[in-house]
Structure 1
Amino acid sequence: MNATAPARKRALVTGGNKGIGLAICQGLLAAEFEVILAARSIDKAKTALEKLQSVGRASLRRQTLRERNENRVHPLILDVADDESIERAAQDFGTHFPQLDVLINNAGIYPDEDVNILTIDRELLDRTMNTNTFGAIRTTQAFLPHLSKSPAARVINGSSGLGALAGIAAESPSYSLSKLALNGATIMLAAALKPQKIAVYSMCPGWVRTDMGGTSASRSPEQGADTAIWLATAATPDFSGKFFRDRQEIPF
């Protein structure tokens, strides 16, 4: 009887169409994952897929990286600020895939230009919390039936040093509060999902050169993605409920 190759692990990355999210997708493909790239529109997802499939045109034995990637990365429409979109995405996922091994809640916004804690209005606070915090919670809830089918599922929440108690900033009010709350959600989700052996982590990518971080940031998207990829591939369940930067635990 011929031995069969082990099935590839499967990861879903929200906001996977650009910046850190796209770099995470690229790193997971290199780690031999099957990747579901989630974006708010199919056009954005397909454009990102084309970027991933064009990486490394040099031949790798009999196949190019483009050919290797084409069957391992899939688009999914998912707007984390919209519950109906989240539910549709979870249903769509379930019709095509048997289980989910890693969920990376990467999607987020930073709308705090020209405001501070003394001037920000409720609408902006609501919008940022809805996307950065409630979106990650609702996405985790919706995909939980698929995560539960994995023998060792992981949820990775994209947080920030601005969400640490020692790092919150009055000049980034909605973003800081949303990431502070997301870190709290990580602790609660880790405790709630421990009986199901689902690990939950928060990670800070650092200051990264993206649309959000700007061109003056000190890190590349690949450097920002590194800790998320490490958590997805190598971190142990003992680290569940903790906060990481540069593969090291940091205080909440």
Structure 2
Amino acid sequence: MSYTRVGVVTGANKGIGLAIVRNLALQYPKSPLNNGPLLIYLTARDKGRGEAALQALHEDAQLIKAKSLVGEGGLSDIKYHTLDIADTNSIKAFAEHLKTSHGDGIDFVINNAGIAMQGFDSNVVKTTLRCNYYGTLEASNEFLPLIKDGGRLVNVASMTGKLNKYSDAVRDRFLVSKSVSDTSKLMEDFQAAVDAGNEKEQGWPSAGYAVSKAGVIGMTKAIAAAEKAKGSKVLINSCCPGYVKTDMTRGGGAKTPDEGAQTPVMLALGDFGDRTGLFWQHERPIEW
């Protein structure tokens, strides 16, 4: 089957990622991007869980009722592909698959994959940054050249990445950062402060997940500015899905996964002008 649109969702075997795939399939027919069949890659680290998620979507009552999937006469096809954003080789292998299979390019990537570990120490921070910040950065760098002009790159961040938990000096460093290197240096300095056991004295919160998501927001802004300066038409934004009831929040949360999916789906499929490099929540830009 040939497709006129191709999209990717990382970390999509459960929670918000799975809900994003569902809502892409549901909302695509009425979206401004609809010009024919859409292929959505549901990616996850674990093949068994990814394929189980795919099967669940094919049995999903709402998708069946809406006749969203190609097997039901709809426009959306969903395929599983292995991807671990904490593994450089995995990212490169998937990027190569996309190049080979979709030579004309792809239309959007939603980088949703991430981890939230319990506890706080140097190893927790290192592991969290490797996946949430550096993994998202590597995935962005590998997939961005494959995205067609007018396409979208969406990096899922969090309200925990807002800058109200930092000293004035650290917050100002985030706000004046102009490049990915600037943001990566902040991540390095945070890791060094945690290793030394004096992150609070240096103006950082003792929260690896929160700092990793601040890094995602800053890095996304820097990538968007660089691409815009080159004349690229790809819209590059980060967003917070909200406090969603998932395994990651350990059953907490005020939103359902479907509600949490709305902002990333809007940034992938919706019409919001040419706004890029912004941080979004509740389907609108917010202050960092």
What's the TM-score bracket when you normalise by the shorter of the two chains? 0.7 to 0.9
Residues 58 and 151 of structure 1, relative CA distance in 2, 3 Å threshold: closer
* Matching residue of 1:3: none
- Match among 154, 168, 189 for residue 223 of structure 2: 189
Aligned pairs for 1:1-252 within 5 A: 8-32=4-28, 33-56=38-61, 65=69, 67-68=71-72, 72-98=77-103, 99-111=105-117, 113-115=118-120, 120-121=121-122, 123-147=123-147, 150-166=148-164, 173-194=207-228, 195-252=231-288
Name whichever of 42-51 and 232-241 sits farther off: 232-241
Q: Is the 8 A contact 1:109 1:131 kept in 2?
A: yes
Q: Is the 8 A contact 1:55 1:66 kept in 2?
A: no
Amino acid at match of 1:183: I
Name whichever of 195-204 and 167-176 sits farther off: 167-176
What is the TM-score normalised by the length of structure 1?
A: 0.86
Q: Is the 8 A contact 1:57 1:66 kept in 2?
A: no
Identical amino acids, percent of aligned pairs: 31
Per-residue deviation at 1:31? Answer: 2.4
Q: Is the 8 A contact 2:224 2:235 kept in 1?
A: yes
Q: 1:140 & 1:88 partners in 2: Cα distance? A: 14
Q: 1:143 & 1:77 partners in 2: Cα distance? A: 15
Q: 2:16 & 2:165 partners in 1: Cα distance? A: 21
- In the alignment, structure 1 segments of 5+ residues that lack a partner are 1-5
Per-residue deviation at 1:23? Answer: 0.3
Per-residue deviation at 1:66? Answer: 7.6
Residues 233 and 15 of structure 1, relative CA distance in 2, 3 Å threshold: same
Per-residue deviation at 1:15? Answer: 0.2
- In the alignment, structure 2 segments of 5+ residues that lack a partner are 29-37, 167-199
Amino acid at match of 1:9: R
Amino acid at match of 1:97: H
Give the secondary-structure state (helix, strand or coil) at the position aligned to 1:109: coil
What is the TM-score normalised by the length of structure 2?
A: 0.76
Q: Is the 8 A contact 1:59 1:65 kept in 2?
A: yes
CA deviation string 1:18-42 (max 9, x = no partner)? 1000000001111234211111122
Q: 2:279 & 2:59 partners in 1: Cα distance? A: 34
Per-residue deviation at 1:227? Answer: 0.4
Q: Is the 8 A contact 1:205 1:246 kept in 2?
A: yes
Q: 1:64 & 1:204 partners in 2: Cα distance? A: 26
Per-residue deviation at 1:145? Answer: 2.9
Q: Is the 8 A contact 2:70 2:77 kept in 1?
A: no
Residues 13 and 144 of structure 1, relative CA distance in 2, 3 Å threshold: same
Per-residue deviation at 1:65? Answer: 4.7
Aligned-pair RMSD on alpha carbons?
Answer: 2.5
Give the secondary-structure state (helix, strand or coil) at the position aligned to 1:166: helix
Deviating beyond 3 angstroms after TM superposition, the runs of 4 or more aligned structure 1 residues are 57-61, 63-66, 68-71, 167-172
Q: 1:50 & 1:124 partners in 2: Cα distance? A: 33
Residues 42 and 218 of structure 1, relative CA distance in 2, 3 Å threshold: same
Per-residue deviation at 1:64? Answer: 7.8
Give the secondary-structure state (helix, strand or coil) at the position aligned to 2:261: helix
Per-residue deviation at 1:60? Answer: 5.6
Amino acid at match of 1:127: T
Per-residue deviation at 1:215? Answer: 1.7
**Higher helix residue share:** 2
Length, aligned pairs only: 238
Q: 1:58 & 1:221 partners in 2: Cα distance? A: 15
